[in-house]
Structure 1
């Protein structure tokens, strides 16, 4: 059984599309100022491990995350104004637009919170 051209096009876009979007997202992430990039990478890690979604939802979610942090960096908005005092709560609210959510262990929540604290320079005297 062979695929029609239409089926091949749909299959290829499913395989290549999200990969291309992912590479574009990563390039955008790398252009962020260091503290914003660190925060985005922490949020990304958290979402990759604990947020079940499909490829298209993931791509949209990460693109929107990049948009949010690019705009915040352009406006010099402090990271804490974006994520608030509880970055876990921020991420869980953020991803509700893209998935049904999932179980997130306390350890992962602490890792995210600690990473955002490091990204903002809190406790080091070097705040963004």
Structure 2
């Protein structure tokens, strides 16, 4: 459970870091789109790169938390706190994949955009899998 979760986190962190540093690979499908193909958060595009960097940092922190909970790194706080954090993040990732929403998840109502196809085939399955792995890892120790 640990290695697949870390692999997904590393993959996602690398993409977000790539975008934060000015990379363009995958940029066109990095944000949810309206029916006309325009980004849902177009008014926030000026903060998109710093936000991608923040997500990359958050993912690295999640990987460190996961490693700490697994006993591979020392934790500076109680294991119960790490377990709770992993459960919360895992539940949030699972919810992101399965809770009906207009733009994201398996049950999104707007499914005809390029973003929506990527979300259904790649992003939502990864969110669901990573969420399940985090929850399982939290209860494993």
TM-score, structure 2 as length reference: 0.37
Greater gyration radius: 1
TM-score, structure 1 as length reference: 0.40
